Amino acid sequence: MNSRFGLNLATGISLEEGIRWAGDNGFGFIDFQADLAPNNLASFDADRVGEVQALCDRHGVQIGIHPSSAINNAEYVPILSGAVDDYLKANLELAKQLGCGWIVGHGGYHFGDVAPRRQAAVDRMKRLVDQAEKARVMVYFENHNKEPEHAEIHYIPHTVEETHWFLDEIQSDYLKWSFNVAHGHLVPEGWAGFLDAFGVDNMGQVRLNDNNGDYEVHLVPGEGTVDFETLFARLNTTGYDGWFSLGFGSNEDKVRVKDWFERLL
């Protein structure tokens, strides 16, 4: 790896522009969504696919797709359930065409109907991983954020116990954990509890931003209460040698914080 840092591409920025900027500023990885212009699924014809591949080669940047967590992967209602499967399949097919290394997987959300939503989500992730094996694209499965106690919906998985539902049930060389530190900071076990439970051996990426431990908000590291010095020390001593995806602030913020995190490494 030329760099151990990547970024979530902001909406409204073309993938091509993002690749150029990442390569020029020392980032080796990009997560992007293929939902809206200028990077919507239909925009990637053969010419654009070739241009993206050439830019990745030229700038030494690897890319992956991060589908929207607003799409409920725990959906079980007929017609809607099939539409979710179609959405994930389309994203995976684009990932294969572009030569992406990964696609991010989500568990979805429930409305108090936990049991059927859990089963639907696990089954859907199994189907996605089976398809990803054939496409030779990794699935990085992300732990979600906690919603306020009295919210109508709640993401799964957002606790260690719920994350076990997926990582214990689905066994594949093409499934890895996408460790979202800020999400872990929102639950009683904290991000350290997730590392205690799952370690680093099957970790595909570490997703980084900050919050105050109360609710989901993408603060720039240093503006919240996540202890990044302790986090990096723990990851170093446990042998994590993968990459970090920065999902916060402006491009200037990302460059400044990357420099700080590189010193911590």
* Mean pLDDT confidence for 60-72: 97
Question: What angle do the packed helices 228-237 and 251-264 form, to 10 degrees?
Answer: 50
In which residue are the tokens 């799409």 written? 71
Nearest Cα residue to 31 out of 256, 227, 222, 204: 204
Q: What is the pTM of this model?
A: 0.97
DSSP designation for 210 = B
Look at strands 203-208 and 243-246 and give their pairing: parallel
pLDDT for the residue numbered 88: 98
Q: What are the residue ranges spanned by the domains of the chain?
A: 5-264
d(CA 83, CA 101): 24
Spatial neighbors of 138 by CB under 8 A, at least 6 apart, are 64, 101, 102, 103, 132, 174, 175, 176, 204
Pick the CATH number of 5-264 from 3.40.50.720, 3.20.20.150, 3.50.50.60, 3.40.50.11060: 3.20.20.150
* Main-chain dihedrals φ then ψ at residue 181, nearest 5 degrees: -65, -45
Express each pLDDT in 194-224 by its tens digit. 999 999 999 999 999 999 999 999 999 999 9
